[in-house]
């Protein structure tokens, strides 16, 4: 029996190509993994009547670890996002998105080493929304006014921003435990508590309370989200671990990805108490489907996070060193990296040739 069994969801668009490259790189390290391949997304809709069949969720639950490629969410079809549904079904409350500099990516900075810990279950992403003009929306507007909580224009649509003590406490605690486990020295809680007193204000209170438990072991600071964005662009070296409510986390993590070279190299993980699903930040980039062009680095670095989670440090370090060496050498890189570095895609290699170059460093 293999040492680890991992659920593999190839996804669609560029997903199958980049997960194939990732799988070959992981296997070439010699790590003992059995892959349980299951399909999700639009392609299985006809067969199972849902883009996220129950056996996919069951597989992740059983194995506790999954890695996936991106899955397309068609716009305006009532088709639920597989990614959001999976996070909800398994209560994957942490979205972990490290952003670190790799030489050769053409990024604007060469000294970034940030970890974004984004809350994944509440805030404006809770999906509690009221459509403009609906009876219940007008009732809500009247309720707000009747309770002296303010006035809202009657032709408004409304999205609620619930932030709980429970949700805030577990995400901030995760950030501190992550800092301790990974020898990181500082956690920054990001918020807009000066304006949003009862949601972000609550989050900040909880963050301060949790931070007190780690005093002397991990440094703590809090920053307003707008000032954080400016700080990240001007002095990214000032930041270490950032912990943010859902929406700010989504935006700031893309900003952080931009500091280190963009979506093609940004890895991610969704982590809960009982399971973890590893996936890159980027989507299915449909225009590159089947062209052997997409950059698999984000998916491969996502596998590095997965191997670290599985305790396979040696294999993780080997892959990271291989990625660094191929990107620094600069001749066997995909179109996006080539374009950033030279202004042209001439001389770029394909997805699989890039993976082969990484394997050749082992």
Binding residue (CB under 6 A) for ligand NAP from 5, 73, 289, 325: 73
Closest residue to ligand NAP, Cβ-based? 283
Q: Which string of x and - marks every residue 195-234 that binds ligand NAP (by CB under 6 A)? A: ----------------------------------------
- Between the two ends of the chain, the Cα-to-Cα distance in Å is 25
If binding is defined by CB under 6 A, does position 84 make contact with ligand NAP?
Answer: no
Torsion, CA 352, CA 354, CA 359, CA 360, rounded to 10: 120
If binding is defined by CB under 6 A, does position 71 make contact with ligand NAP?
Answer: yes
If binding is defined by CB under 6 A, does position 289 make contact with ligand NAP?
Answer: no
200 included as an active-site residue: no
What letters, b where the CB count within 10 A reaches 16 and e where it falls short, cover 144-182? eeeeeeeeeeeeeebeebebbeebbebbbbbbbebbeee
Q: What is the DSSP letter of 184?
A: -
**Whole-number minimum distance, CB 198 to ligand NAP, in Å?**
31
Binding residue (CB under 6 A) for ligand NAP from 283, 309, 340, 352: 283
192 included as an active-site residue: yes
250 included as an active-site residue: yes
125 included as an active-site residue: yes
The residue from 12, 93, 174, 192 that is catalytic is: 192
**Whole-number minimum distance, CB 297 to ligand NAP, in Å?**
7
Binding residue (CB under 6 A) for ligand NAP from 20, 39, 240, 336: 336
> Which residues neighbour 193 within 8 Å (Cβ) at sequence distance 6 or greater?
200, 201, 203, 204, 222, 224
Backbone angles phi, psi at 3, to 5 degrees: -65, -40
Residues identified as active-site: 125, 192, 226, 250
Q: Which residues here bind ligand NAP, judged by CB under 6 A?
A: 14, 18, 70-73, 83, 263-264, 279, 282-286, 294-295, 298, 336
């Amino acid at each position: 029996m293999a040492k680890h069994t991992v659920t593999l969801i190839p996804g669609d668009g560029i997903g199958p190509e980049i997960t194939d490259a990732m799988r070959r790189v992981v296997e070439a390290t010699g790590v003992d993994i059995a892959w349980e391949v299951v399909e999700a997304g639009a392609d299985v809709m006809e067969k199972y009547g849902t883009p996220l069949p129950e056996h996919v969720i069951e597989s992740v639950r059983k194995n506790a670890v999954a890695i996936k490629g991106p899955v397309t969410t068609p716009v305006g079809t009532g088709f639920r996002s597989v990614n959001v549904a999976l996070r909800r079904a398994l209560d994957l409350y942490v979205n972990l998105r490290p952003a670190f500099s790799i030489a050769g990516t053409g990024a604007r900075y060469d000294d970034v080493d940030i970890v974004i810990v984004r809350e994944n279950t509440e805030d404006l992403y809770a999906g509690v929304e009221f459509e403009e003009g609906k009876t219940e929306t007008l009732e809500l507007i009247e309720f707000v006014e009747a309770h002296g909580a303010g006035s809202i224009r009657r032709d408004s649509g409304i999205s609620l921003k619930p932030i709980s003590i429970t949700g805030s406490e577990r995400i901030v605690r995760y950030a501190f435990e992550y800092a301790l486990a990974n020898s990181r020295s500082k956690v920054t809680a990001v918020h807009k508590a000066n304006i949003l007193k009862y949601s972000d204000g609550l989050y900040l209170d909880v963050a301060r309370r949790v931070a007190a438990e780690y005093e002397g072991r991990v440094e703590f600071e809090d920053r307003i989200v707008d000032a954080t964005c400016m700080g990240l662009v001007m002095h990214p070296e000032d930041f270490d671990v950032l912990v943010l409510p859902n929406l700010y986390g989504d935006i700031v993590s893309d900003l952080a990805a931009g500091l280190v070279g963009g979506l093609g190299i940004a890895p991610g993980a969704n982590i809960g108490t009982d399971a973890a699903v590893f996936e890159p930040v980027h989507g299915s980039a449909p225009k590159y489907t089947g062209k052997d062009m997409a950059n698999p680095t984000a998916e491969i670095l996502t596998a590095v996070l997965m191997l670290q989670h599985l305790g396979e440090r040696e294999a993780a370090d080997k892959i990271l060193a291989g990625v660094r060496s191929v990107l620094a050498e600069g001749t066997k890189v995909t179109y996006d990296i080539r374009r950033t570095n030279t202004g042209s895609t001439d001389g770029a290699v394909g997805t699989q040739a890039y993976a082969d170059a990484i394997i050749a460093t082992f």
